[in-house]
Amino acid sequence: MDQRLADVLSVLELEALEVNLFRGESRDIGSPQVFGGQVLGQALVAAYRTVEGRECHSLHAYFLRRGDFNAPIVYQVDRSRDGHSFSSRRVVAIQHGEQIFHMSCSFQVAEAGMEHSAPMPDVPPPEALADFESYHEEILADLPEKVRRFFEHRRPFEFRPVRRPNYLNPVPLPASKQVWFRAVDRLPGDAAWMHRCLLAYVSDYNLLDTATLPHATSFLHLQMASIDHAMWFHRPFRADEWLLYAVDSPSASGARGFARGSIFTRDGRLVASTAQEGLIRPRDSAEPPVA
């Protein structure tokens, strides 16, 4: 297995400290704090460790403080309810004695019902598009050192944007974008929980910065931080097969941007939806983005 993917899987392997209490390691991805998607994925793993025979169908999370990637994060799970069909969990992430994140999530026994979904956008296939890393390589020499660290980090997912990114000379664009993505290598087995936790991890990429597109400014010149993050899992999928992230931002106001995303399989099935609000402020010095 590719070492990048093996590493993120090891990050999701939490240590059990006590009943309902788990500890996770962090990774430095070139940003000044723990990547929000890592905390989201680990929190979902912690919740899954307290549930049997049910799959997560929704989660709602808030980021409270910056995480320190030099210290472990402790996850405390509250088993709020186990009903006939649904289970509810609340997860609190603690670091240096303070809450940095909390999340509510719901699990359901597999059940048949009515089916419909929105259509997938008509976009070129991933094979016709260039990888994000090829665009990053073109501009590395023109970036400040701190930002360069973020771009040089090799990620466990590959991303192929439908529209070429323009970080250095942005122009006003519609507040929407589409990005193909998948894990960089084949994942072992087909456990649904693993693919959902990995999707939670990667869903924090390419979301909030969509709110900056109409304003002819790059996230390189902004202070950005996730405030909250919500996900709904609709259908089974594999995180190591191509998925299309179709994102739009219907609003930005009050130094906050709001974005929502739809995630489709290659054959057009809508498998998950996301929503996020985050802080967006101008700043003087360039540093790696928060989210």
Going by C-alpha positions, the residue among 222, 225, 214, 217 that lies closest to residue 167 is: 217
d(CA 207, CA 260): 7
Does the annotation count 33 as an active-site position?
no
Does the annotation count 226 as an active-site position?
yes
- Residue 230: beta bridge partners? 60, 275
d(CA 155, CA 113): 37
Task: Give me the catalytic one of 33, 106, 273, 276.
Answer: 276
Does the annotation count 273 as an active-site position?
no
- Residue 17: beta bridge partners? none
Helix (H) or strand (E) holding 261: strand 256-265
d(CA 26, CA 28): 7
Q: Which residues contact 201 (CB under 8 A, 6 or more apart)?
A: 8, 12, 37, 38, 40, 41
* φ, ψ of residue 92 in degrees (nearest 5): -115, 130
Task: Give me the catalytic one of 26, 31, 33, 204.
Answer: 204
Secondary structure string (H, E, C) spanning 236-290? CCCCCCCEEEEEEEEEEECCEEEEEEEEEECCCCEEEEEEEEEEEEECCCCCCCC
Task: Give me the catalytic one of 33, 226, 249, 273.
Answer: 226
**Catalytic positions, please?**
204, 226, 276
